[in-house]
Structure 1
Amino acid sequence: MSRPASIVGATHWRPARASSPCSARAARTDTRGSMSIAESAPPAHPGFGGEFRTIPVDPPQGFKMIDFQRFNDWRNFNTHIGPLYFRRGEQGTADAFVMGLRVQPYMCNPAGTIHGGMMMTVADLIGGMGAMTVAGIKGKFAPTVNMSFDFLAPAREGDWVEGRLELMRHTRSMLFSHIWLSTGDTKILRASCIVKIPSEGKWAMQKTRPADSPPA
């Protein structure tokens, strides 16, 4: 029985050029005897190179944009997912640390609702930044040890989403928290998070942080 064509290993591909009559045949030649390189290439997608659409953020009063690049001279993952905002409230309350975002088109899945990966990323940031803020730990990066998620409801383009946490336990080396994201009174995600408190001198921030910025 012949095996189905496989694209494993076809990591380099080159589309056939219309200017060369032989290039199409050459592109279909694969020494592995499986699917040709041209056939294994991802198809052109109208979203690639298409319109990059945004909508006004207009955050509620008291929210400030988080500058994820303040510690680095290069763009990191967090700089690609925002803009994200934060607000600080009274310690010991659910508003001690609040993260917010306006759901942008590029944060959504094809169904027009916020992508689950986006919600998980925001919850992860809250589990680190928020927990460190509530615990009063500054100037350190807290790596995530474990997280679990429950998706409760969708949020749509243009919705304002807020994330909060409850610090459940604070040990010498770990922070345990419960997190939820909501739009208005509707909770859309809940999560549990464990982050590690770095030892002295480990994962310390390299640059001075603005006084009103939360720890990353």
Structure 2
Amino acid sequence: MIRVLIADDEDMIRTALAALLRLEPDIDVIAECRDGAEAVEVATRLTPDVCLFDVEMPGMDGVDAAAVLRRTVATRIVAVTRHARPGVLRRALAAGVHGFMPKSRRAQDVAEVIRQVAGGRRYIDPEVAADALADERSPLTDRELDVLRAGAGGETIAQIASTLHLSPGTVRNHVSSILGKLHLRTRQQAAIEARERGWI
């Protein structure tokens, strides 16, 4: 039996998927979690063969949870997402996931990916992989990406400056450069764009 932990903050999706996977003769869903932090705690205790993580969860998301577990638990991780953008794939692979697929796939497909990953193979949805190969790299400098990361939670210019040990004027210059390069109007839009593309 392949012991599986599922983490998804949408109760209906999580419970429905768990019920469908429990119909498979070789899959045992041993735990259901609502967020990444709970998933890390439960996976550390139960050591499932495969963790199936939704990428978009409140607090610690699926990618961050994967990165933590990669260092602490011998489990394999499949990331599922409603927004299968190339940058999200790159971020997930950097965190050490073994499988990546959109949520639009059928439960039978999910079961087959779980089997592949449990068997030591990797799986990346072919359409997402093709898009990732064609996607452009970040036009932002490392320091500009640092500014976006430091302000991703809505921090003020002064707070970003303090975090990065820069002057507020330097931070404003970086923000202006970021907005110009991305053709956007606000820092919040830039942070969303960078997160969706997997730059931060």
Q: Which bracket does the TM-score occupy, shorter chain normalised?
A: under 0.3
Q: Which entry has the higher C-alpha Rg, 1 or 2?
A: 1
Normalised by the length of structure 2, the TM-score is 0.25
Larger relative strand fraction: 1
Normalised by the length of structure 1, the TM-score is 0.23
Larger relative helix fraction: 2
